[in-house]
């Protein structure tokens, strides 16, 4: 009882320490400074612009807090490359789109060179529109040609029909991963970010993308979705919406009041290390306990270690029947099993096998079906004094596994009839599981029926009218004849449920 009281006290202390660690962890986002962080001179700033924002690069680069520049790259789907066949206004519009695309890409490439010459971090974003999301992702990658250290982002302006849907945004992010080997940053406003956080199960990829948060208010305490993102990668706090000649959260040298300004949680050196935010974010609270209490005092860490050590020393109640029954018996007798002790017990039982004899499997089954109350007497009894061999226990497990592996095909796992001479040898045999044979047969059928193209592609092609035959191979009679009785029953079961 004294040991139990000490263990309980230690467990309560550990729980309190972990709770304290969670408080510290929940306080960590305060480093993100929810209230006007741009007023802290040590916080790095990032500018983002589109093609109609004039930039004086010498003036802009003179601000030592500005560490990065993100420029708009592509917008929706790529324009039509061929205007032939169009007339009047349609042809003029087509040519105008091509001209705008060419000028925009040249400006983008020029700005990239200028930004990198000035020592700024570089990034590009795609403005998501309705339309094929994979085609848009390809358009973005082809337009931006991102380097490994360039930030790439998807801009979802709002959650309505005017912009790319959130479902399409998931596909877009997946295609970016395929093309570049990494996922993009997600740019969106406060309401859309909250919607994604509230529906993270529907948008599991978007909910883990680093968040570029657009919210034009001084304080976002209680507004930022901290239940899904512990912090923002960038916070766009200033734009044409809240910056004018009279008032502006932050005035950028070399740019007009319509320029977008973003604040980071890092200083310039820290932002350079974190850029381009290519790792998926972890949901708050998913860290381990060691990380949560990493910042507490050495005295606290010592107490935690002592509590863990005491918990390891707490003796476990022995299971009735010894190690084997504890391992394979009913769940209420599952105590902490020492594998080395169990194997040692089995080795000792092997030595007594010739002298003791008996049916080990029956005794193990009896012990499992009629559990006894744990007592010191039971604990001192040998694990299985008449164990014939561990191999017989495995044999029983193999039979049970065969019955569990394919319940619908019950005939497939029934033992085949034995002849008289085979029956005489049965007592010394160990039942071998047919599981591997079943799985091998199923794998052979799977490979035989494998689709030569991805299913998602074939599903878009309609009926197969080629001369290669059906997509699913049917077994010929000679193929079935070559199989054993069990394999034929297995094959029949697979055919019945296909």
The pTM of the full predicted model, rounded to 2 decimals, is: 0.55
Q: Which residues of the chain have pLDDT under 70?
A: 1-32, 285-436, 438-439, 442, 445-483, 486-498
What pLDDT shows up at residue 207? 97
What pLDDT shows up at residue 14? 53
What pLDDT shows up at residue 27? 38
What pLDDT shows up at residue 285? 67
33 dihedral zone (left: phi>0; alpha: psi -120 to 50; beta): left
How would you write the chain as a 3-class SS string? CHHHHHHHHHHHHHHHHHHHHHHHHHHHHHHHCCECHHHCCCCCEEEEECCCCCCCHHHHHCCCCEEEEEEEEEECCCCCCCCCCCCHHHHHHHHHHHHHHHHHHHHHHHHHHHHHHCCCEEEEEEECCCCCHHHHHHHHHHHHCCCCCCEEEEECCCCCCCCCCHHHHHHHHHHHHHHHCCCCEEEEEHHHHHHHHHCCCCCCCHHHCCEEEECCCCECCCCCCCCCCCCCCEEEEECCCCCCCCCCCCCCCCCCCCCEEEECCCCHHHHHHHCCCCCCCCCCCCCCHHHHCCCCCHHHHHHHHHHHHHHHHCCCCCCCCHHHHHHHCCHHHCCCCCHHHHHHHHHHHHHCHHHHCCCHHHHHHHHHHCCCCCCHHHHHCCCCCCCCCHHHHHHHHHHHHHHHHCCCCHHHHCCCCCCHHHHHHHHHCCCCCCHHHHHHHHHHHHHHCCCCCCHHHHCCCCCCCCCCCCCCCCCCHHHHHCCCHHHHHHHHHHHHCC
Q: What is the pLDDT of residues 297-351, one digit of tens each?
A: 565 556 545 654 554 444 445 444 444 444 444 444 444 445 455 545 555 555 5
Q: What is the pLDDT of residues 115-155, one digit of tens each?
A: 999 999 999 999 999 999 999 999 999 999 999 999 999 99
The structural architecture, per CATH, of the domain 33-274 is Alpha-Beta Barrel (3.20)
Query: What are the sequence ranges of the domains in the chain?
Result: 2-21+288-313, 33-274, 322-388, 417-496
């Amino acid at each position: 009882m004294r040991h139990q009281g000490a263990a309980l006290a230690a467990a309560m202390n550990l729980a309190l320490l972990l709770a304290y660690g969670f408080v510290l962890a929940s306080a960590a986002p305060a480093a993100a400074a929810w209230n006007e962080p741009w007023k802290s001179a040590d916080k790095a700033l990032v500018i983002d612009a589109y093609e109609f924002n004039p930039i004086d690069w010498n003036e802009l680069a003179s601000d030592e807090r500005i560490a990065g520049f993100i420029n708009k790259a592509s917008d929706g789907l790529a324009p039509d490359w061929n205007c032939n066949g169009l007339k009047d206004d349609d042809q003029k519009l087509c040519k105008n789109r091509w001209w705008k695309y060419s000028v925009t890409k040249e400006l983008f490439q020029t700005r990239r060179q200028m930004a990198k010459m000035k020592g700024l971090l570089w990034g590009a974003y795609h403005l998501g529109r309705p339309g094929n999301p994979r085609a848009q992702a390809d358009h973005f990658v082809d337009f931006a040609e991102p380097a490994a250290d360039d930030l790439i982002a998807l801009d979802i302006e709002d959650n309505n029909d005017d912009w790319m849907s959130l479902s399409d945004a998931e596909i877009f992010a997946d295609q970016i991963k395929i093309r570049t080997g990494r996922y993009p940053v997600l740019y969106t406003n406060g309401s859309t970010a909250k919607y994604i956080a509230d529906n993270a199960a529907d948008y599991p990829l978007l909910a883990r993308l680093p968040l570029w948060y657009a919210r034009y208010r001084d304080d976002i305490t209680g507004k930022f979705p901290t239940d899904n993102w512990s912090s923002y990668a960038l916070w766009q706090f200033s734009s044409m919406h809240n910056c004018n000649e009279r008032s502006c959260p932050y005035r950028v040298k070399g740019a007009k009041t319509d320029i977008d300004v973003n604040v980071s949680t890092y200083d310039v050196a820290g932002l350079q290390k974190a850029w381009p935010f290519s790792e998926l974010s972890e949901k708050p609270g998913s860290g381990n306990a060691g990380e949560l209490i990493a910042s507490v005092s050495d005295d606290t860490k010592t107490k935690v270690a002592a509590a863990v050590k005491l918990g390891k020393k707490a003796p476990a109640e022995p299971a009735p029947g010894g190690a084997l029954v504890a391992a394979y018996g009913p769940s209420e007798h599952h105590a902490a099993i020492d594998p080395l002790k169990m194997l040692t017990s089995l080795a000792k039982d092997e030595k007594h096998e010739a002298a003791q004899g008996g049916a080990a499997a029956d005794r193990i089954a009896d012990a499992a079906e009629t559990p006894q109350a744990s007592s010191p007497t039971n604990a001192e009894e040998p694990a299985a004094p008449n164990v014939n061999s561990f191999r017989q226990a495995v044999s029983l497990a193999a039979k049970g596994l065969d019955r569990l592996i394919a319940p619908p095909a019950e005939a497939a796992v029934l033992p085949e009839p034995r002849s008289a001479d085979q029956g005489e040898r049965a007592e010394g045999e160990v039942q071998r599981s047919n599981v591997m044979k079943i799985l091998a047969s199923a794998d052979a059928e799977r490979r035989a029926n494998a689709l030569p193209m991805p299913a998602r592609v074939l599903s878009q092609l309609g009926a197969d009218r080629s001369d290669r035959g059906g997509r699913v191979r049917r077994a010929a009679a000679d193929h079935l004849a070559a199989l054993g009785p069990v394999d034929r029953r297995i094959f029949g079961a697979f055919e019945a449920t296909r």
